[in-house]
Amino acid sequence: MKYKIFLLVFLVSLISSIIIFSNSSTGVCSIGGGCDTVNNSSFGSTFGIKNSLYGIFIFSFMIIITLLHMSKPNKHTRRIIHLAIILGSLIAIYFLYIQFFVIRVFCEFCLVIDFGMIISLIFMFYLWEH
Count other Cβ atoms within 10 Å, centred on residue 4: 10
List CB contacts of 2: < 8 A, sequence separation 6 or more: 123, 124, 127
pLDDT value for 128: 73
List CB contacts of 74: < 8 A, sequence separation 6 or more: none
Domains identified in the chain, total number: 1
pLDDT value for 89: 97
pLDDT value for 26: 54
| DSSP calls for 23-58 | HHHH-GGGGTSHHHHHHTSTTSEETTEEHHHHHHHH
pLDDT value for 33: 62
pLDDT value for 53: 95
Distances (CA, A) of 39 to 22, 76, 80, 111, 129: 11, 34, 28, 12, 37
Divide the 130 residues of the chain into consecutive groups of 10 and give the mean pLDDT of each group. Answer: 92 95 65 75 92 95 96 94 96 96 92 95 81
User: What whole-number distance in Å separates Cα of residue 37 and Cα of residue 29?
Assistant: 10
| Residue 108: domain span | 2-129
What CATH number does residue 90 fall under? Answer: 1.20.1440.130
